[in-house]
Amino acid sequence: MPDHVLTLQGLTKVFSTDRGPITAVDKVDFDVRGDEFFTMLGPSGCGKTTTLRMIAGLETSTAGKILFNDEDFTRFSAFRRNIGMVFQSYALFPHMTLFENAAYGLRIRGLDNDLIKKKVAEILALLGLDELAERYPADLSGGQQQRVSIARALVYEPGMLLLDEPLANLDAKLRVDMREEIRRIQKELGIMSIYVTHDQEEAMSVSDRLAVFNLGQLMQAGHPEEVYADPTSLFVADFIGKANFFPAHVTNRDGTGAKVSLNSGQELALSRLVEVRESEKADIVDGYDATLMVRPEHVEIGQPGKGEIDCHVRRIQFLGSFIRYIGKCSDATQEVIVDSPRAVPGIEEGSEASVTIHPADARLFHKGDGS
């Protein structure tokens, strides 16, 4: 398998509407290599699907370039790009059998009949559909239809596979099974895949790398654990996983670190500021009002007065492998969430408590950034 490279350079899409131009995708840059499973993640209307459709050629870009193996793809017609695509609605051809659906791309490429039969049989076997070849799409379950659309997209060995929220129409259990299945096949065939979803758990679990979009902009791209642990914006911190936010006043900026004081008057020494975007790092000077972010597993809950911030425990959820404490706290902009591996004695719903922050895992952001 050749080592394909897809490169997006300053890709931009502006839709003209009755209410004036709307920038759906704003100067997006990223590249995807080899057999990477790359996911575009974000809330609806963030530009991820438009970006995917521009890669597919179903939408023309307003500015920027799409390169595939250094060849400029930007102005190619969609049907000449040799891409495979799986749609949310599956978009199977309802008047063709499962076999004919899968054979469609091969017939266009003018393969002879025996070769088509062989290749379709191979791909159907790979997806466990061999028994159903003569059925029509209407006779298949949602999961089976999704497999057919994957078979149809892969059979002609496209340069890359695009998946537009392919699991959105399946029920919860099947969704988990299918995403593992998609990843298994993708790795088996070694095909570059670009996946679009708004479900962050799905994105985290299947992707080699993911890109978080908001308001048409690429906010951050990286390995899932990296994006989770070191978000570079408040938006990403809030969108990926759970997070606690506290107002913090910078008292002592020092090289790569800083001292901040919380509203309660407690001081915290933060060792690193590297996660903040380079351009914004300079703004964090003494006297600056910032926002402190810390994940629920990096805070501890204890008796009142023990930690930095007092809170009132509103709700305790037993979530299997851990216990989640949800509290209301006068110092935080939102509810405070504490995930603890075991129950903390003496803390009950309705009781007063206090929260301790691990400074090493806390991050400092511009106030109101990214939301």
Partner 1 sequence: MSDAVTATVDARGPKKGIDWFPYVVAILSGIILVVFLAYPIGKTTLYSFVLLDDDLTFGNLTLANFRNFIEVPLYTDALQNSITIAAWTTVATVVLALPAAYAVARIDIPYRTFLLTFSIIPLIAPPFIGAYSWIILFGNQGMIRRYFDILFGIDIPTIYGPFGIVLALSLHYFPFVFLFTQGALAASDPFIEESAHIMGAPRSRIMCSITFPLVIPAIGAGAVLVFVRTLGNFGVPAVLGKEYMVLTTLMVYQVNGYFNLNAASAIALANVALTLIAVFFLARIQRRRRFITVTSTTRAAKRHTGRGAKIAGNAYVWSLFILAVMPQIIVLFYSFAERWAGSLWPQRMGWGNYHHVLTELTEPIFNSIFLAGGATLLAVFFGTLAAYISQRKQFFGKWLLDMTIMLPFIMPGIITGVAFLTTFNTGILILTGTASIIMLAYFVRRLAYIFRAVSAAISQVDNKIDEASTICGAAWGYTMRRVTIPLVAPGMLAGGILVFSTLIIELSITIMVYSADWQTMSVLMFEQLLDDQIEYATATGSIAIILTISLVFAASRLVGKSMADMFR
Element (H, E) at 55: helix 48-56
CB atoms within 10 A of CB 290: 24
Q: Does 82 bind partner 1 (CB under 8 A)?
A: yes
Binds partner 1 (CB under 8 A): choice among 145, 149, 197, 207: 149
Q: Does 93 bind partner 1 (CB under 8 A)?
A: yes
Total binding residues toward partner 1, as defined by CB under 8 A = 37
Instruction: Select from 110-118, 169-177, 207-215, 220-228 the region that touches partner 1 (CB under 8 A).
Output: 110-118
Binds partner 1 (CB under 8 A): choice among 21, 75, 289, 351: 75
Task: Give 75 or 242: the residue with its C-beta nearer to partner 1.
Answer: 75
Q: Does 77 bind partner 1 (CB under 8 A)?
A: yes
Do β-strands 336-340 and 352-357 pair in parallel, antiparallel, or remain unpaired? unpaired
Instruction: Select from 80-88, 124-132, 206-214, 222-230 the region that touches partner 1 (CB under 8 A).
Output: 80-88
Q: How far apart are CB 117 and partner 1 at their closest, in Å?
A: 13
Task: Give 74 or 263: the residue with its C-beta nearer to partner 1.
Answer: 74
How far is Cα 273 from Cα 73, in angstroms, rounded to an integer?
Answer: 39
Separation in Å, CA 338 to CA 116, 195, 304, 305: 57, 32, 15, 16
What number of CA atoms fall less than 13 Å from residue 102's CA on the CB side?
31
Q: How far apart are CB 46 and partner 1 at their closest, in Å?
A: 20
Q: Does 187 bind partner 1 (CB under 8 A)?
A: no
Instruction: Return the sign of the alpha-carbon dihedral for residues 151, 49, 89, 91.
Output: negative
Q: Are 142 and 88 in contact (CB under 8 A)?
A: no
Binds partner 1 (CB under 8 A): choice among 5, 67, 78, 344: 78
Binds partner 1 (CB under 8 A): choice among 37, 99, 104, 213: 104
Q: Does 192 bind partner 1 (CB under 8 A)?
A: no
Tokens of 194: 């670009």
Any residues with CB less than 8 A from the CB of 129 and at least 6 apart, and which?
98, 144, 147, 148, 151
Task: Give 34 or 93: the residue with its C-beta nearer to partner 1.
Answer: 93
Backbone angle region of 280, left / alpha / beta, with phi > 0 → left and psi within -120 to 50 → alpha? alpha
Do β-strands 37-41 and 192-197 pair in parallel, antiparallel, or remain unpaired? parallel
How far is Cα 8 from Cα 30, in angstroms, rounded to an integer?
Answer: 5
Q: How far apart are CB 165 and partner 1 at their closest, in Å?
A: 12
Which residues 152-171 are close enough to bind partner 1 by CB under 8 A?
Answer: 152-153, 156-157, 162
How far is Cα 359 from Cα 259, in angstroms, rounded to an integer?
Answer: 10
Task: Give 106 or 347: the residue with its C-beta nearer to partner 1.
Answer: 106
Element (H, E) at 244: strand 244-254
Q: Does 56 bind partner 1 (CB under 8 A)?
A: yes
Q: Does 58 bind partner 1 (CB under 8 A)?
A: yes
How far is Cα 271 from Cα 258, in angstroms, rounded to an integer?
Answer: 7
Instruction: Select from 21-29, 84-92, 175-183, 251-259 the region that touches partner 1 (CB under 8 A).
Output: 84-92
Binds partner 1 (CB under 8 A): choice among 109, 223, 328, 367: 109
Q: Does 126 bind partner 1 (CB under 8 A)?
A: no
How far is Cα 135 from Cα 126, in angstroms, rounded to an integer?
Answer: 18
Instruction: Select from 99-107, 244-252, 328-336, 353-361 the region that touches partner 1 (CB under 8 A).
Output: 99-107
Which residues contact partner 1 (rule: CB under 8 A)? 56-58, 75-85, 87-89, 91-95, 104-106, 108-111, 115, 119, 149, 152-153, 156-157, 162
